[in-house]
Structures are given as structure tokens and as C-alpha cells.
Structure 1
């Protein structure tokens, strides 16, 4: 079975991502102070959409485009891009081409790339390149990937996606057998993964470096990189990458004509698959192909045919040329070993001619296909066609011998350079050792004293910080609690005393003067308003939702201000937290009506499994939130901020000359 030495292509190695803060809606995007990756996970439904396992759900696509279009309609371009990133991640995990996603993502990028962060641009370029790759369209795949790495990264997550993109570019160059550029981009990816401490994907790079050395017949270098990659991914506990590494070991042993070694790792893959419940269809198909190979090698006809049928069914259901080629090779080998007629010679010839027509045809694949077609046409008696394939195989033998020699020379040259470098480093280390010993001896005492002094300072400082923090939290809690008690007391006094007296006065004057009666009605209404503002009527009984509806009704009826609300909340917060949230909303709407010069406003409350989200927005003139908070002379904003801190929430102010949006996030 020597002609099978390069039967298997490298298994598709799925990079484990990752799957990021809002930007100004109408201004040129600026890099955010916060981590964009962390912000992405705070958006509604993002985590569900990012999960590749949910892609098969029938509502997935509708849900993804609902959130994307909603953000796009509101001109929240950064958030719209983030939902495309979640969608792209799910497709990447499933190795699937989605034309609707591809077209929507491409149109959005071309129209709005200047309005989103450079990190989001890199993510979208990566997914557009990956989608082009899944659609077997390499030219645009190269273009998108190169756009993605052209943007200078600043954050860790941005550096990581640039690393992934370099890795993907390397895979593209590997398909074209441009191993110089393949190695260049793999090394670039490795440097990035080392810089950000992404150990798992360092292992992924070593696995693909192994494949380069296999294809250039440098087997010693290939084995070294494969072993390094396997140890990393096993230590990191990545079942997907460990499975891929075992498949590469199968390929490597076949390249060495070690069939028993290949079967050993096929058995390891089968065991690994049982502990890998989320195994994707691509890996399932690869496993069935390799199990078919095992039984073919062991001359077990029935078992080989059973696995081959399963592999063919899975291949036909997929959109992967790689799987089609793999399955076809297994079928050719099965027909040759068991002296069976080749069932699909037309498909084999079509693949052969397609590969031969490429600018740089894959000689190994042509040899595999040509061998099977030569055997088929020889048995059929079509010696003219059989001789055509035989001639190609003979011509290629010299080329394979030269490639093997070049691989050995490469290994020797690399070994020589490594030894020279090691000798030079050893000499330098000896020269530095004596100097280090002296410096260490003198420095140890000084460092010990300095460290002791620093530890004492830090310990005292930490004690002070903890004490001050505790005092501040107690003060805030007491202040807010006492404020609410005082408000309720005042409200009760106004209602029970002042209000009743005015009612009595009104009855006394009714018969004498309608003017006094109207004036007293006005005073009564004002007292009732004060009472409601100080303590919402029956808040404990009505709850948050109805209290907000009362607030919007009063704004429209009494102040002629268009204020609406949309509350999707089931009451998972405590009464204390609900009351503080209502006070925050009350403060925000008061500021809106007094200072914003707005025509309308809206209050929105939503929730997910972990958080409750409140949004108060208007179409007013806006303000500089950062500047006002720094000055400390804006009681309204400080009141909102302190109340939010008290209930362990976070607040974000976003204000432009077209309106203000206040976002509150509260943990359940």
C-alpha cells in the first residue's frame, strides 16, 4: 500500500474562539476603554446566538436577524456588527456556508465599516473569509483575510482574531502548496498566541506546521511539531483539537508506511469520540472513513463496507470537497484491495481532470486517483485509458523521489543550524553565569529588605482601603434607607394632615366663592403630586411595572410630554431593588423633562437569565456626561449613579446632540 502514503488530507482544525462595548452611533468610531469581548456578552441573546450548537434550531436565523436589524434600524452599528459576529462564530463552529449571512455581512461591512470599531471590522473580515473558504472560493477568501490582518490590534481579543486570521491564511496557502507563505503566517499566528497567552491555539499552530513538513517530506520535523501540538491540546483538555491531532498521527503513520501505527491511532480516535459528545459532523465523517481504512487494511470486507457506506452518506449530506475527496480515496482503495468494481469512476475522473487543470495541481491526489483509474480501466479492457494513467504515475515517481531527497536535506540543514545556535548560546550562558552569581549575591539582601518594606506598606494600605470601602458602603446604605423613610413620613403627613385640612377648607368656601374653590383644587393636586413623587402610591402593592405606567401617564396628562414605556419584566428583583430602580427612572425622566428640551422619551425594561436591563432615552439636546460627573455639580446624575451602585448595578450614559440614552444593568 505504498501509493497510500499521502491518502489523508489534514483534518479541518477548528479554532476555538474565543467569540468586544458600544460606540457612538453617528460619530467616527473610537477604540473603547472597556473590553469589547466582555461587552459583547452583555447584549441580549448574544451568548445563545454565539453557541454553535444552537445554529440547527429552527428559530436561530430569525432570532439573529431580528437583533441585527433592530440595532441597524436604530443606527447602533457597533451592536449590529456584534450580532453578525455571534452568527459568524456559530457558522464557523459548524464549518457551514450560509449565503444569507454572507450577503448580509458583506453588505453591512461595505456600507458601515467606518462606523464600527477596528476590532469588529477584523472579526467580520475573518468570518467573510471563512465563509468564502467554506464555499470553495479562495480568491475572495484571501482578500477578506488580508483586510482583517491589516488593522492594527490593541486589545487582547482583537489580537486573537488577527492570530486566527493569520492561521486561516496559512491554511489557504497550504491548499495552493505555497509552503513559504504558509509557514510565514503560521509563525505570525504563533507569535500572537504566545503574546496573549493563548496556549491552546499555540498547539493548533504546531499541528498545521506538522502538515507542512509532511507535505515537504521533512518527516523528522513533522513528527517533532505534531508531538508538541498533541501534548499542548491534550493538556488544555480540548477534545476537538485532540481528535484532530490523532487524525494527523494516522496520516503521519501512513506517510511512513506504518499501517499498524495508523490503526493504533484510529482506535485512539474512536475512544476519544466516545468522550466527545459535541463532535461535529465533519469529525464523525472522518472517523468513519478511517475506520473503513482500518478494516480494509485488515482485509475485513463486510466491516470496511459498512463504515464506507456511513462515510458516503455523511459526505453526500455535506458541502465539503475535502470529505468527498477522502471518501472517494477510500472507495478506490476498497475496490483495489477486495478486487471489486469501482462504483463511481466518473466521479474519480472528474476529480482527476479538475485537479490536473489547476495551475499547481496536487500531484499526490492525482497519483491516488490515477492508480485507482488505471486498475479500473485495465480490468475493463480499456487499455488506452489505462495507459494514460499509468504514464502519469511513472512520470511522477521521479518527482516524489526528488521531494523526499529535498526533505532530508532540509532536515539536515535545520539540524546543523540548530546545533550551531545551541553551541553559541551555551558559550554566552557560561560567560554570563559568573556575572549573575555576583549580582545575585549582592542583590538578594537588598531585595529582601525592599520587599519586606513594600509588603508592610501594601498591607497597611489594603487595610485602610478595605476599611474605607466598608464605611462608604454602610454610609450609602444608611443614607438611601433613611431618605426613603423620611420621604414616606413626609408623604404621610402631607396626605393625612395638609390634604385633609384643605379639603375641609374647600367645603367651607364652596358656597361662597368658586375662585377659592379652584385655587384650593390646584393646591390639592400639587400636594398629591408631591406625595406621589415622595412615595409612589401603593408601590409595594402595584409593583414596578404599574408604577412606571403611572409615571408615564402623569407625564403625558400633567406635563403634556410624550413619554412611553415598554416593560418585559417578571418581578425577579427584591422590593428594595425595584424601588431603587424606580427612583432611578423617576430621576432620569425628571431630568429629561426639565433640562433636555426633548419632544419625547421612552422607558424600556427587559431581562434575561442573569440580568435586568433598563433603558431611558430621549430625543433632546444632550449633554457632556463625563464632564458633568467630573465637576460633581449634577445631583441628578450622581443620584442615578449612587443608587445604581447601591443595588450592585452598572450605569452607562451615552449622549449626543440628537438625544440621550441611559442604560442600567442589574444582576438578579
Structure 2
């Protein structure tokens, strides 16, 4: 039996050894050939050797990559230099981690890139740069590099766009920009679905579940992971399903679902049995299960796992696995009430986590030491660790609230973008209808023999087109009304939920005498109020249009250098609530456009009742613009919303803009 077990291992060892021998022989042959030639032939052989070692062997490749880059630059062969610089940066990102050298390579290559003829080379080059910056913790530089990669990927039939978007989403998660992360990951998932790239689809859903978990959305996280597991089961060659169960267990622990936590960790271990990464994940999953057993009064089971880990200490308790083992050991000792030994392992675990600045783990490590010292009656040290724990917990809580707020704000901004797209589609449909009418009139008008038939056909078609046009306009207006409803809902959500929590946080920080925390809390609360006011103006709702528009003007006047001249009559009695809201939004959009684009110094606003109509005039002395070009070709939601809102309140909109002289906008509608 032993012979049967040893034989496969022996064959594998012989195979690996043979592969290494072949690689060394080929390397030696190429090196010998390189020494005999110069110039372009030498560079070609260097490029072949570097590519072979990097792509096809496990041999160290950094020295040959450096030599190839240097020689390629010497011969002004920028394509080869870029290709091998990309490989070396990838090697640095994943193996050597010498980020200083990586930045030096980027600086050396920067002036040469304009000569590179292949967008594909530049695409992969910037992807590897982005990966390196991500591992170096420079998230802004990573995002910038991914954006450059994307710009080159669009220049050829690239399959990397989805991957770039996915990796940007991962960076945004770690950067804490949850709104942008959600949008990027959603886009990547859609891309992978379209391309039927199930492996990347599963990975992207995994990142989405982590995003939800970090935001405290455990229900959404669980849903993503359950879908991820179903996909992974369908796609049987997916080897990391154990990681999904492991992450689900972590969420279960945060939610206090201990039975589910243990069940998912068992599933993680079971799935790992058939994984190609079994050796890597086994100590992680086992340590986590030991912690779960220890924290749920299953001491014997926890002790059995810990002893198994210690039996192979070199493999399971050192290097990358050390932190997982220390966590299991300290939890077991605490459950056995061996508090002094638990402190030793707890201190070691805390120091290890502090090196990596893993704040959530540091927080839990401080809490553990507080609980241990409390058990042995050392109140001074218990208080010290409790203060550390509380400070980190509050900081993480504040950061999470701020990030969740940013998440909602980004989704609100995305709503504008989506509405722009829908408006564009509606406008395309309107233009198609108009073109259809014109073409039909021309065709039938030229056919004398079919005048009657043509007349009937065109009339019916025209009526149908008009009806279709009205339907499209109604659809666009329904979108705007739905947007207002959603704005109101989000504003109330911010006020009633996030706003109240931030108000409590403000009071708590004030009582704690922590000025920086108090300032952060107040600023965040003010941001929430500003966003909520922009989404749903309370003054308009409570005091009417006239008070609302005056409040809007006063706010802009206080925060910009614009000089306002106003003549505003009280027209509240002539406006329904819906008309007041749309008229307010029109004024808001006009003033926002003046602030952002007009470069004006003064604005005149005239609102008055004249006989049976309301007339509104807004005039600025800005740089002006070509209105017809804007309304025809602009992708901006602003102009289109002005037109559609004017139609909703049955108003005539007239915009007269002269370049370098300013713009006059007039709106007239019947009472």
C-alpha cells in the first residue's frame, strides 16, 4: 500500500525535475547564442529568452528582463522595451514586491511610450502598472493606470475591458469609495455575463458581496454569495468555492448567526478537499473553525483542530498562516480559562495585525485583551485595551457611515446619468417619428396615380406617428416624475435614518471632548442636510414657490460671487404643487448652468403675473452658447430636462443666447 502511495509522488517529482532540467538547458542554449551576436539579432534572442523564462518556466526572470529592457532602449526598440518592462512590473507586483524599483522602471519608460506603435502593448503595460500600484497601496495611481489601459483597450478589439472595470471596482472597495465600486462591479458583471466568462463573473460577484459586507448590507451580501455558489456549482471547474463559504461564515459571525457560521466553515473545508489551492487554504479554514468552536463552547472540537495544526507547525502555524493560528490558539485558551497564556497569544496576534494596519482585526484583538484582563481582575490594563477598542470601533463606525453616505450619493448621481440615457433614447424615437413622416410625404406626394391611396396612408401614418410622439413625450415626462418621487424618498431616508444617527453621533462626540471627532460629525451631518435639501427642498414644500426660489437665490448669493437683481412677485396662489415643483427645478437648473458654465458676474431674475399668464425671465452677462447645437447634440440632462419640464407645465420656453454677451431665458405659461 505504501508503495502505491509513494509511486505517484515519485513520478510527479521526476516530471517536475525533468521540466526544470529542460528549461535550464534551453536557457543555457539561448544565452550561448546571445553571446555570439550583436544588434538586432542579439535583441531578438534576448526577447525570446526573457519571454520564455517569464511565460513558461518557474526560473527567476528579473535579471534577464532588466538586461533585455536596457538593450532594447539602447537600440531604440520601444515595443520590445515596453513588452519586457510590463513583464518585469508584473513580476515585481506578484513576486519581489520591490515597488521602488517598479516606480523607477515606470519613470524610465514614460518618455518612450509615445513611440510605441501597439495599443495592445500599452493596454497590458498599464494593467500591470495598475496592479503593482494596487499591491503597493497607492489606490489613486492604480485607478489612473486602469483608466489609461482602458483608453488603449478601446483602440483594438480588446477582451480586457471587463477585466479592467472589475479590477477598478476592487480598488474602489479597498479605497472605501463604495458607490463607485458598486457601479464598476455591476458593469463588470454585466460584461462577463455577455461574454459568458463564468470564472470572472463568479469572482466579480465575490467582490460585490465583500462590498456589501463592508457597507453593513449583510442581507445583500448573502444573496450575492448564494448566487455565486450556484454559479460555481454549475461551473464545476471553479476551484475557490471554499473561499465563498469562508466569507459567508465571516458575515454570519458579524450577524450573530453562530450555527450558520460553523456550518459554512465546514462546507468551506469540504469544498477545499477538491481545490487546486487546498494546501494554501486548509490552515486558514481550519483555524477559523477552531475559533468558531471555541467561541461557542465546543472546546474539545476546537482543541482537536489546534493540536492538528501544531502537529505540523512549520506548515500550518508560521509565515502567512501565523495570524490564523494565533487567533485559534488565543480563543481556545480563553474558552479553557487559561487566561495568562491567552494574553501571551493575544499580544502576539495584536502586534502582528498592527504591522499590517488591519483595523477591524486590531479592534477585535484589543477587545479580546480587554476581556482577558477583565477576567483576571487587572482593571488598569483592561481599561487601557477597552479605550483602544472603543476608539477604533468609533473611528471605523464613522468611516463606514461616511462611506455608506457616499455610496447613496453616487447612486443618486448615477440616476442622473441613467435618466440622460433614457432621454436620449426617447429623443431618438421622436426624431425617427419625424423622419418617418417626412419620408412618407415625399414618397406618396410624387406618385400622382396613387394620390388617394397615398393620402389615406400618409394621414393614418401621420396620426400614428403623432400618437407615438405623444407617447414618447409622456414616457419622458413619466421618467422625470419618477425621478422626483425617488428624490423625495432618498431625501426622507437620509433625514430620518442617516441624519438622526449623525445627530446622535454629534452629541456623543461633543460629550467625549474629542474636537476632531466632533468636527467630522458636524461636517458629515451638514453634508447630509445639504444633499437632502438638494434632493427635496423643504422650504418649497412648506412655504411655497416664492419662498423656495428666494431661499435658493439667497443660498447661491451667499456661496458665490454672483450679483443678483431680482423682481419676484408672489405667484403661489396660481401654482399647483406639481407646477411649483417643476418651475423650481427649472430655475434651479438654470442657475446651476450659470454657475458651472456661463462665467457670469451678474444675474437678473424677473417673475411676475401679466394678465392671465406667468412670465419668468432669467438673464446673465456670461459667455453665452449656441442653443441649437446644445439642444441637438449635447448629452447633458440639464437642457433636455428644461424642455420636458416646460412641456409638463404647458409653458413656452425661449432661450436667446449670444456668444460673449450672455443668455436670456424666458418661460411663459397660462394661469
TM-score interval w.r.t. the shorter chain? Answer: 0.3 to 0.5
- More helix per residue: 2
Structure 1 or 2, whichever has the larger Rg, is 1
Normalising by structure 2, what TM-score? 0.45
Normalising by structure 1, what TM-score? 0.45
